[in-house]
Amino acid sequence: MMNSQLQKLNHAPSFSLLPKSSIHTNYLIRHGSPSLINTLPRHPVRQNHNNKKNSSSCVVIRASSGEFGSSASVTTTSTENKSVSVKAVVTVQVTAGGFLSSLLTRPLDDFTDLLGKTLLLELVSAELDPKTGLEKDRIKGYARKASHNDDEVIYESNFTIPPDFGAVGAIEVENEHQNEIFIKTIDLQGFPNGSVNVPCDSWVHAKSDNPQKRIFFTNKSYIPSETPSGLKRLRELELENLRGNGQGERKTSDRIYDYDTYNDLGDPDSEDELARPVLGSKEHPYPRRCRTGRPRTQKDPLSETRSSSVYVPRDEAFEEVKQVTFSGKTLKSVLHALVPSLQTVLLDPDLGFPYFTAIDSLFNEGVTLPKPKTSGFFQTIIPRLVKTITDGGDDLLLFETPEIIDRDKFAWFRDEEFSRQTLAGLNPYSIELVTEWPLKSKLDPEIYGPPESLITTELVEKEIKGCMTVNEALKKKKVFILDYHDLYMPYVNKVREIGGTTLYGSRTLLFLTEDGTLRPLAIELTRPPVGDKPQWKQVFTPTWDATGCWLWRLAKAHVCAHDAGYHQLVIHWLRTHCATEPYIIAANRQLSAMHPIYRLLHPHFRYTMEINALARQSLVNAGGIIERCFSPAKYSMELSSVAYDQLWRFDTEALPADLIRRGMAVEDPTAEHGLKLTIEDYPFANDGLILWDAIKEWVGDYVNHYYPDPTLVESDTELQGWWTEVRTKGHADKKDEPWWPVLKTPENLIHILTTIIWVTAGHHAAVNFGQYMYAGYFPNKPTIARTNMPTEDPSEEFFKNFLKKPEFALLMCFPSQIQATTVMAVLDVLSNHSPDEEYIGDKLESSWAENPVINAAFERFNGNLKRLEGIIDERNTNLKLKNRVGAGVVPYELLKPISTPGVTGMGVPNSISI
């Protein structure tokens, strides 16, 4: 029997030559419990294959450090010295953008297929030649086209493998086509002990574009110290190829991962007003993004020129299902076609809605759009929203009613809903426990005025109706705050110099009632001194007089706009999209594709770099959607840099640490999840902690399997290189911070990986997929407040008009018609689940499937997530949980793991894919 597939694998080999009991025995020897190990037979295990003489394989288990010590190894011998015929089956995905795409080159590719010289495959032995110490000669062969259907093309090649070749560890591929192709898998069939799977899922460039062969490793995972000798050079070579040399402009076909600052947000060569500071420096700290190498602008040597497409490494681009059905092309089309069409209809960019029924008309009458040049264009890109009025007529943009308004048309108007959404809404990350009293700003009073808040003890005790003193309320953890004061204040006067928007520093105080719900107590809005005007601040409270009621509603609108900006720029963009890109770049530069940690993280990085590149093109760029439609305007990204500098720390991105930091939980070893929540009915935290624990258990099982000896973590050169590069290059502006976790033990690694996976999955899902549901009806979450409060330096005429028609003052404060409809269309796309979405715990990777220990751990993970779905369904019917159940209340489902395609308000994808 050949020993070609009885490999000296690391901790999770797929020994298909062995009976299942032998596989189990080997795992228990390496990692099992002593009690189980003691029950195992203490003699060599023999397996007779095919009942033929001279065809037996003997597996010898050798152990050091005791009879079944931790360094047990497996070796094989064979008495069969025969060559084996093997068929390679290559599955190529048919794509419109690559294979079979060009009418000019397709005849050449067809001719190449006809000649049988399509793909050159080279099988690489996992071991060096024991006689020479060199790599064994490759076994080469061309793959011929065998079959073709709508989705896939199958190529096949036959190889004869000599008995001394050993295990196949990798395949090198050369693409003889004129175009790139997308290879899904390569399967080697015909080995006596089963097929060998080589997962690819990658674009392979044409030889004419790049003569360098592509390297694909089998689905066996190895930490660096256990790399088979014949693969060590290729392992290092592939990482060198991915790192590049840091020179030149990147081409679309490249697979280079490197770092750069956010120096491509502005466009100073087009217009001086579009110049923006570089983010990623001592003055403006920021995470790094992927380097594109585009030339610098003429007016600003620090900034990079912009282009119609932004480079991302080839394998990071959207697959065609996502491009065609929804996200990539849809988002681009909304930004570059739908928005300009809206601008032609809504000619006045400052025109607001004249009355509330005009807002309602967006959902029942729609906005008539001029017919595009391409028939059916809008219906194709956003079929949910754009309808054809008549054949050959114009199109109609008809928004779907968000669930929150569909259930309760006046929910947005109510104080209790305003408070509830701080715990179960679009941004459940901002609410904090008040621990210091009185409230006081930390900003320089010489610049920003008196730091003391006007929310006084007397005012609070009046609002809580004398049921307790402020000190008692603080001691009982009853007082909470949304604090956007110090972050926004430095930008108030700058923003007010821009037309069509305004800004305040704000504080919103909330009180925890006996039934576990929150009640707003007060809103304080502050403007710093400007010119000869002193600081202005005023506190607004829920009152019973008409004027006070309308002032309170206007103050809430300003706070909602502050929250919307902070949510989008900090909680969503910075803490998920932006902070994750360095993890992806570092992983591809430092972790081999055969590294078990790379294979654990890879599903959680899918599409993130591509969606970030799209965001830099049209959303967060100078003059983009965020700047046009959110209160901070041109200072939006700069403000997110300040938040990164002052607030972002990796160690508090973990959900438990985040809750503790905000005073929303305290450590309690006796409590479920090891935490006691300050507000028991906190839907985001309640569901999130179950998801966090499930992720942590899965990661723990995985890490402990590959690192049974704690010293292996510290000695893993690739792993240490990855974590070092995350800190010193990806987050270079914070590289010297003392709070970075050390990476010395499996426990350190488990916590780091759990945090990253939580951010890419749970955190992002909680703050992304509810966007249309909560902000699609913009009065509930306006993204911009355009006018000052009527009581701030009002003219006599303005205040008189406010008293006469207060509704108009609120409508004028809300976004303009073009701002509102633009944001609504974009949020619809961003809240959408693609048909090809991959959800957490749902897909078993091939490298995990062949490993019984990892396979079993994944099944437990999958089971825990199904249990979470049931718990969420049950909680959403429990009338005692008033923050997620009630008349007209939208159930909290954002952390329910699985979703169907579309805008559903549920689903936790593996990655930040939109």
The residue from 572, 604, 731, 763 that is catalytic is: 572
Exposed, middle or buried: residue 3 (CB in 10 Å: 0-12, 13-18, 19+)? buried
Is 517 within 8 Å of 416 (Cβ atoms)? yes
Residues 6+ apart with CB under 8 A from 353: 359, 811, 814, 817, 820
In a domain, 517, yes or no: yes
Per-residue pLDDT of 536-590, as tens digits, reads: 999 999 999 999 999 999 999 999 999 999 999 999 999 999 999 999 999 999 9
pLDDT at 108: 52
- The SS3 call for residue 662 is coil
Q: List C-alpha distances in Å: 497 to 387, 432, 530, 784.
A: 40, 31, 11, 15
If one counts the domains in the chain, the total is: 2
Residue with tokens 């160690």: 651
- CATH number for 90: 2.60.60.20
In a domain, 105, yes or no: yes
Does residue 914 have an active-site annotation? Answer: yes
What average pLDDT does this structure show over 692-713? 97
Lay out the sheet containing 119-125: strands in order across. Answer: 196-204, 181-189, 84-93, 152-161, 139-148, 119-125, 168-175, 214-217
What average pLDDT does this structure show over 825-840? 91
Does residue 833 have an active-site annotation? Answer: no
Residues 6+ apart with CB under 8 A from 114: none
Is 695 within 8 Å of 673 (Cβ atoms)? no
Name the pLDDT band for 82 (thresholds 50, 70, 90): confident
In a domain, 281, yes or no: no
pLDDT at 317: 83
Determine the residue type at 825.
A
Domain end position, chosen among 761, 796, 815: 815
How many angstroms separate the CA atoms of 580 and 505, rounded?
Answer: 29
Residue with tokens 């790094």: 288
Is 110 within 8 Å of 164 (Cβ atoms)? no
The residue from 558, 577, 604, 763 that is catalytic is: 577
DSSP string, 837-900: --BTTT---HHHHT-HHHHHHHHHHHHHHHHHHHHHHHHTT-TT-TTT-STTPPP--TT-S---
Among 788, 417, 771, CA closest to 564: 771
pLDDT at 394: 72
Token output for 355: 């009355």
Token output for 790: 């009527």
In a domain, 190, yes or no: yes
Domain end position, chosen among 219, 237, 255: 237
Beta bridge partners of 909: 839
What average pLDDT does this structure show over 221-232? 97
Beta bridge partners of 508: 482, 523
- Poorest-confidence range of 98-107, 312-321, 332-341, 547-556? 98-107
Among 876, 865, 882, CA closest to 905: 876
In a domain, 277, yes or no: no
Does residue 611 have an active-site annotation? Answer: no
pLDDT surpassing 50 at residue 78:
no
In a domain, 280, yes or no: no
pTM: 0.89
How many angstroms separate the CA atoms of 366 and 386, rounded?
Answer: 9
Token output for 287: 């995470």
Name the pLDDT band for 385 (thresholds 50, 70, 90): confident
Name the pLDDT band for 378 (thresholds 50, 70, 90): low
pLDDT at 377: 59
Does residue 764 have an active-site annotation? Answer: yes
Name the pLDDT band for 112 (thresholds 50, 70, 90): low
Determine the residue type at 426.
L
Q: Cα–chain-centroid distance for residue 36? A: 41
- CATH number for 459: 3.10.450.60
How many angstroms separate the CA atoms of 124 and 218, rounded?
Answer: 10
Q: Within 13 Å, how many C-alpha atoms sit on residue 525's CB side?
A: 24
Q: List C-alpha distances in Å: 628 to 267, 571, 619, 631, 866.
A: 15, 19, 9, 8, 42
The residue from 768, 788, 832, 883 that is catalytic is: 768
Region class of 473: left (phi > 0), else alpha (psi between -120 and 50), else beta? alpha
Domain end position, chosen among 815, 834, 862: 815
How many angstroms separate the CA atoms of 615 and 610, rounded?
Answer: 9
pLDDT at 334: 73
Among 856, 867, 863, CA closest to 842: 863
Is 694 within 8 Å of 861 (Cβ atoms)? yes
CA terminus-to-terminus distance, the chain: 50
pLDDT at 328: 53
Is 875 within 8 Å of 884 (Cβ atoms)? yes
pLDDT surpassing 80 at residue 45:
no
Token output for 546: 């008409």
DSSP string, 812-832: HHSPPHHHHHHHHHHHHHHTP
pLDDT at 338: 76
Query: Which backbone phi and psi does 203 adopt, to 5 degrees?
Result: -80, 140
Domain range holding 491? 430-568+785-815
The residue from 171, 585, 626, 914 that is catalytic is: 914
The residue from 223, 764, 840, 854 that is catalytic is: 764
Length of the chain, in residues: 914
Name the pLDDT band for 65 (thresholds 50, 70, 90): very low
Lay out the sheet containing 479-484: strands in order across. Answer: 432-433, 479-484, 505-512, 518-527, 536-540
How many angstroms separate the CA atoms of 277 and 265, rounded?
Answer: 8
Determine the residue type at 218.
T
Q: List C-alpha distances in Å: 109 to 42, 100, 121, 314.
A: 58, 8, 17, 21
Query: How many C-beta neighbours within 10 Å does residue 755 have?
Result: 26
In a domain, 843, yes or no: no
In a domain, 358, yes or no: no
Does residue 864 have an active-site annotation? Answer: no
Query: How many C-beta neighbours within 10 Å does residue 682 have?
Result: 23
How many angstroms separate the CA atoms of 790 and 794, rounded?
Answer: 6
Lay out the sheet containing 45-47: strands in order across. Answer: 45-47, 57-62, 73-78
pLDDT at 789: 97
Region class of 270: left (phi > 0), else alpha (psi between -120 and 50), else beta? alpha
Q: Cα–chain-centroid distance for residue 869? A: 21
Per-residue pLDDT of 392-444, as tens digits, reads: 567 788 899 999 999 999 999 999 999 999 999 999 999 999 999 999 999 99
pLDDT surpassing 50 at residue 56:
no
Per-residue pLDDT of 247-268, as tens digits, reads: 999 998 899 999 999 999 999 9
Burial code of 304-330, b = ≥16 C-beta within 10 A, e = fewer? bbbeeebbbbbebbbbbebbbbbbbbb
